[in-house]
A and B are shown apart, each in its own frame.
Chain A
């Protein structure tokens, strides 16, 4: 459902799709992250969001660069590796009428940033928290992340021996009030989930499987050139990335299962939650995630939502005026109070 005028392409707040765009992406062609950026643009445009009312946050990684590629008219802070949640919390207190969109990676969230991720959820800050999950460290060129599949073999890293961290389970265990999973190649679902997430009152966690076309590949289809020298000095590797089209699957029905072949020839199985699934049931959420894990399926859709839980802003009484627009008169106690304060200090 959209309110965009079919003829002019102008939405309810008088903006065209172009008003939601970012800079041209510098990520690899075919990177799942780009597909997600596009769906953020589409969702905001269709939802008539005023871009100035959004603040973008990210950590460090290929995924974390992507806020540059959507919503140019929104403020954005590309912060530190794994530490975006704290920064987002501070900023959103500056003006509580703003909504945050955070973009992170699996390394950024599930490795270095797991602590802040869980505490963000615990505080239920009103923001969308997207993890563009590719199972590797893209930006540092292909190391394992904590969400990498056990048994995955990567070019320079050998084989991963450890079970992955499940971002949705971590979120649920931290009492998340909105948990969803999707696949970057399923644009329609990604968009719909982003729309739902932005409308949620607290933190909305979106774990979006977002294949890395360059590094998460088993059979060395990607070639590398060692610049100037024959022997490998990995710090100076130049990576040649073949241009590919973004992997997109056809829309499929809720409740169905689809096998998807990834770039590296491996298969993933997507299982869309059915219409009979009740996402308000937290126990059921744990159950379906566990069942999917056992079956090695990727469960997609809205896994859990609790729209009633208060956000951090609901727990205090704040004035309506944004903090960052308050004047000196509002934040500096009047001069006559200093006498009282000195009396508090046991004045002789």
Chain B
């Protein structure tokens, strides 16, 4: 027997101004129940209505039966960061029902499946029990399909309550089902039934309303991993080896999906790329080292545990000067940690990765468009410098849907770096007056010239090793040779600065403090800055996009005495790296760091900075 009498509906909320295009909805479901399609449909439909929107999936490391939350934030000003409270929840999971209510703002709405027979603990909310089973039975579909389609009931009820446009829903479904009419119509039928039921049985509330805007016109929706894969395809990726791990997997899986579309000869069926699912991450990175050494644009994607396994080979790649690209889509560590939750906890790990004096070029994409851009740029940087590049993304950026401008075709030709083919060896010697040596720095930038296997010039071959070697790739244990080589490698890091993407700096007039962040926290930081400014705290903000740091970073650090370093980890890893890079300014950096598995909210950043400012 339902505890909630129909008369509870919409009686608890006094008439108030509707909140338009500024609220959040969380779908509380059980994973494996097929709710993803419904949630994405709502997200896409709102986006299609021209209203800025973002979606975050908070999911368990499990295939079926554990609670999952999907939060959609609608925000007319374009803020996309996570918020801590829900205005509306769609409660489909009895196991978390009572707990889920705690997150709803006073006056908020609760849609729930009427087979949840629990007594709500709060009387300041408006409840909408939905007869999901009964409605689904009224649709003409096979019993097997009922489970899949039943999540569409809440889409229909919600559509009526907040005003989601039916045409936008249709567009979202057509996109999702790649235009296949049957599933589109089946799902639409369920949504219509629910919509009509709501119209006939629910009292209009109008607390939260969607109103079409034009704010998303021309924009696209993508997750960062798909964007990265597409960017890599435009970067001419030729060799991919990977081992499945959340949240990295969907990047190579996007390559598997899109490479045939974009890089296969439609007439001959020939592919000019190779994808290998390796036996583990050691093999995956080993394959990349082989491919990169062979002259291919090689990449992988992984997460913390995989990166740990890759460390030895990455050190060899650094020392043997092999270009390759590793995407580390960060999740919560240490150890297996929270495999399906987001963090920025690999910053110092990557910074110090490898034994001996090892360095890696690092890139920090801050949004989906930068995932695309760094997708191709990482190859140019790796090949130019003959070094591994590690791109540090994270689960929030990689796996969630983000709005963005359309992807832009690379604005420059590929940089394949210093490669000598058969005829080039003579040219090299004529030009430099020197015999070619694999590790001979003739340009003074630390970067030597390389030849590739398959080069038929008898003078092109060389012996590559992880042991000491001289300019001509000969084995050497000579102290001077070693030191000369290791110092040349350090010089490459200096050279790298002119190839790195600079930071994005946003200033406010008379800023009293600085903020530094990397990656996906950008959305929350942007929002926090504006709200802090309203409270009288003006900040300059620098989002760093790579290491080695460029001159603009040096400048920002020097000219701001108090800098809040915002990041998702326990120890303030970015702050630690900054302190190492800027020992003179080490006292400038303040820690604003936490890790609990969730993306940072603007509110938390504001509170943290406010409390430190008051000190």
Do A and B pair up? The answer is yes
Using a CB–CB cutoff of 8 Å, the interface residues on chain A facing chain B are 50-52, 55, 57, 67-68, 72-80, 83-95, 97-98, 115-116, 119, 316-319, 322-326, 328, 330-333, 335, 337-338, 341-342, 345-348
- Other A-B pairs beyond A119-B283, A331-B236, 4, CB < 8 Å: A79-B466, A80-B286, A319-B268, A333-B234
Residue from B44, B230, B268, B290 within 8 A of A88 (CB atoms) = B290
Residue from A52, A68, A341 within 8 A of B463 (CB atoms) = A68
Residue from A89, A328, A342 within 8 A of B290 (CB atoms) = A89
Closest A residue by C-beta to B414: A328
A residues within 8 A CB of B408? Answer: 338
A residues within 8 A CB of B235? Answer: 332
B286 touches A86 (CB 8 A): yes
Take A52-B461, A89-B287, A348-B47 as given contacts and tell me if A98 and B453 are in contact as well, using a CB distance cutoff of 8 Å: yes
A83 touches B283 (CB 8 A): yes
Q: What are 17 A-B contacts defined by CB distance under 8 Å?
A: A50-B456, A51-B461, A75-B455, A79-B286, A80-B466, A87-B293, A89-B286, A90-B287, A90-B289, A94-B294, A94-B296, A328-B414, A328-B416, A331-B237, A331-B263, A332-B235, A342-B407
A residues within 8 A CB of B288? Answer: 90
Bound-state Cα–Cα, A51 to B456, Å: 9
A residues within 8 A CB of B284? Answer: 86
Bound-state Cα–Cα, A328 to B265, Å: 15
Take A86-B284, A90-B239, A348-B48 as given contacts and tell me if A52 and B234 are in contact as well, using a CB distance cutoff of 8 Å: no
A residues within 8 A CB of B287? Answer: 86-87, 89-90
CB of B291 closer than 8 Å to a CB of A: yes
A residues within 8 A CB of B239? Answer: 90, 93-94, 323
A346 touches B286 (CB 8 A): no
Closest B residue by C-beta to A95: B454
A331 touches B238 (CB 8 A): yes
Most buried by A among B216, B298, B463: B463
B residues within 8 A CB of A76? Answer: 461-464
Task: Tell me the minimal C-beta distance from A311 to chain B in angstroms.
Answer: 13
Task: Tell me the minimal C-beta distance from A194 to chain B in angstroms.
Answer: 20
B413 touches A342 (CB 8 A): no
A318 touches B466 (CB 8 A): no
Closest B residue by C-beta to A64: B465
Most buried by B among A78, A92, A323: A323
Residue from A50, A119, A331, A347 within 8 A of B220 (CB atoms) = A347
A residues within 8 A CB of B289? Answer: 79, 86-87, 90
Bound-state Cα–Cα, A73 to B463, Å: 10
A residues within 8 A CB of B273? Answer: 323, 331
Closest B residue by C-beta to A67: B463
Bound-state Cα–Cα, A74 to B453, Å: 8
A68 touches B291 (CB 8 A): no
Bound-state Cα–Cα, A52 to B451, Å: 12
Bound-state Cα–Cα, A28 to B457, Å: 33
Closest A residue by C-beta to B263: A333
Closest A residue by C-beta to B410: A332
B residues within 8 A CB of A55? Answer: 453
B residues within 8 A CB of A319? Answer: 265, 268, 270, 272
Contact string against A for B residues 279-307, beta-carbon threshold 8 Å, 1 for contact and 0 otherwise: 11011111111111111111000000000
Closest A residue by C-beta to B284: A86
CB of B490 closer than 8 Å to a CB of A: no
CB of B476 closer than 8 Å to a CB of A: no
A93 touches B274 (CB 8 A): yes
Residue from A68, A94, A342 within 8 A of B406 (CB atoms) = A342
Bound-state Cα–Cα, A176 to B294, Å: 26
Q: When A and B form their complex, which 7 residue pairs have the shortest distance between CB atoms, in order from nearest? A: A94-B294, A90-B290, A86-B286, A331-B236, A90-B291, A324-B295, A95-B454
A residues within 8 A CB of B279? Answer: 115-116, 119
B316 touches A79 (CB 8 A): yes
A332 touches B236 (CB 8 A): yes
Most buried by A among B44, B226, B414: B414
B residues within 8 A CB of A91? Answer: 290-291, 293-294, 453
Bound-state Cα–Cα, A97 to B456, Å: 12
Bound-state Cα–Cα, A90 to B273, Å: 12
A78 touches B294 (CB 8 A): no
Task: Tell me the minimal C-beta distance from B215 to chain A in angstroms.
Answer: 9
Bound-state Cα–Cα, A90 to B298, Å: 9
Closest A residue by C-beta to B291: A90
Residue from A77, A115, A322, A337 within 8 A of B454 (CB atoms) = A322
Bound-state Cα–Cα, A52 to B274, Å: 23
CB of B608 closer than 8 Å to a CB of A: no
Bound-state Cα–Cα, A85 to B241, Å: 13
B residues within 8 A CB of A322? Answer: 454
A77 touches B290 (CB 8 A): yes
CB of B14 closer than 8 Å to a CB of A: no
